[in-house]
């Protein structure tokens, strides 16, 4: 079904755990997996700057994924600084991603309207399908459960359709 996926994580959504389950995702048909973390710009002073320390920390957290990946799955790590939606769209286009996996944040309606939602903004700006996973589930699964979930990730999907 989907062979090239982009997994976007901010390390609070649990999706970073999937780096340990690359071989299970390969059983679900994945050929290319790109892990992406968008680091916000460092806003001390007047001019926003790239926070190279946080970029290096995120790259270190992801580094073990490349060592564990099976040979038939291409695993890429992308850590970039800037606006998350812009970075996600750019990386998805660069790698030809067929699916973007995101974690949903549990926010109030007021907070979402005031701050915005990466998922909502992304859904308006891309035609690539989005798979939204709940952080509560990802964190609650044991390693054995997450192995099975990754192997059967696309067994059942609900596809909304509005007739257009």
Write down the pTM of the prediction. 0.82
Contacts for 70 with CB less than 8 Å, ≥ 6 apart? 22, 23, 26
What does the pLDDT average to over 135-139?
81
Question: In the chain, which residue ranges form alpha helices assigned H by DSSP?
Answer: 22-27, 52-68, 84-95, 109-115, 118-125, 135-140, 143-151
| pLDDT recorded at residue 100 | 94
Residue 15: strand pairing partners: none
Interval 57-106: pLDDT, tens = 788 877 765 665 666 888 898 988 888 899 999 999 999 999 999 887 65
Residue 100 has phi, psi (to 5 degrees) of -115, 125
**Average pLDDT score over the chain:** 82
Cα(108)–Cα(88) distance, rounded to whole angstroms?
A: 24
3-state secondary structure of 76: strand
Q: Which two tokens stand for residue 126?
A: 């891309």
What number does CATH give the domain 4-151? 3.40.50.620
Residue 4's pLDDT band (cuts 50, 70, 90): very high
| pLDDT recorded at residue 14 | 81
Q: What percent of the chain has pLDDT above 90?
A: 21
Q: Which two tokens stand for residue 40?
A: 């916000």
Q: Which two tokens stand for residue 80?
A: 């970039």
Residue 125 near residue 35, CB atoms below 8 Å = no
| pLDDT recorded at residue 114 | 45
| pLDDT recorded at residue 85 | 92
Cα(98)–Cα(54) distance, rounded to whole angstroms?
A: 28
Residue 132 near residue 104, CB atoms below 8 Å = yes
């Amino acid at each position: 079904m989907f062979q090239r996926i982009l997994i976007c994580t901010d390390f609070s959504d649990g999706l970073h755990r999937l780096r340990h389950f690359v071989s299970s995702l390969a059983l679900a048909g994945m050929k290319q997996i790109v892990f992406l973390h968008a680091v916000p710009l460092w806003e001390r002073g007047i001019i926003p700057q790239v926070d190279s320390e946080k970029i290096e920390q995120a790259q270190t957290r992801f580094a073990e994924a490349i060592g564990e990946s099976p040979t038939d799955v291409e695993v890429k790590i992308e850590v970039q600084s800037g606006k998350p939606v812009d970075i996600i769209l750019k990386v998805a286009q660069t790698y030809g991603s067929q699916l973007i996996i995101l974690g949903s944040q549990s926010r109030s309606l007021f907070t979402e309207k005031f701050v915005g939602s990466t998922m909502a903004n992304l859904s308006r700006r891309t035609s690539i399908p989005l798979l939204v996973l709940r952080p509560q589930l990802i964190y609650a699964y044991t390693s054995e459960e997450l192995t099975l979930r990754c192997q059967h990730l696309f067994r059942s999907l609900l596809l909304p359709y509005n007739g257009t």
